[in-house]
Structure 1
């Protein structure tokens, strides 16, 4: 990473924006239920407008801008990933399946061996 980590201080304005954003979400849900006698499309529209306002206000605060920056950096890093070819992916999938089958057989044999030792040899039960 060539970006030094910078500690940002949340200002009072950012705290107020986050608080109002949270209140807008609660208000949007409250309005949705208060408009219970209205058509569904009116209720949903009111909810979406309130949520859009809350999201817009959140992204105008510093934590929202940091979230956008993080998403951009994550996208940039994903583009740097060297993905395996189809042949390599199929080979690795085959190895995983083969390992699972071998482990299943090993655990089954271990279980049956312990069952035989405990029930037949130690306890003398014939199953």
Structure 2
């Protein structure tokens, strides 16, 4: 009996998601079909239809799971200790200096290898 209930719920969820997609597709079709109307009006109607499609999608099991994930993510972002402006600037400067140093070292290594290759192949002046 439990398996039937889960199957019924998943079929319902599938139908709701299909309805949400159908609503969104119909809204997009209407947006382009009524091209002779005001763009502002068409955008407002399209946004309203998209909001309706999202509302239908959020009533499904996966939609509720997605909403819970977004809420939990927002809560976690609030808990993060963000660096101060000074720490961010110092870290950025350290990264830039290290990239510059590494770039110079790679350039020197490449020049050395090219010089050795020219000497070995006899193409050097």
Q: What is the TM-score normalised by the length of structure 1?
A: 0.81
Q: Does the 8 A contact of 1:21 with 1:58 survive in 2? A: yes
Partner of 1:69: 68
1:126 and 2:124 equivalent?
Answer: yes
Alpha-carbon displacement from aligned partner over 1:93-125 (angstroms, at most 9, x marks no partner): 222112111101110001100110111x11122
RMSD: 1.8
Q: Which runs of 4+ in 1 moved over 3 A?
A: none
Structure 2: stretches of 5+ with no match in the other structure: 1-5
1: CA distance between counterparts of 2:29 and 2:86? 54
Q: Count how many residue pairs are aligned between Structure 1 and Structure 2.
A: 118
The separation in 2 between residues aligned to 1:18 and 1:85, in whole angstroms, is 43
Structure 1 gaps of 5+ residues are 1-8
- Larger helix percent: 2
Is the contact between residue 31 and residue 46 of structure 1 (CA under 8 Å) also seen in structure 2? no
TM-score by length of 2: 0.82
Q: Which has the higher contact order (CA 8 A, sep 6+)?
A: 2
1:11 is paired with a residue whose SS is helix
- Corresponding residue SS for 1:68: helix
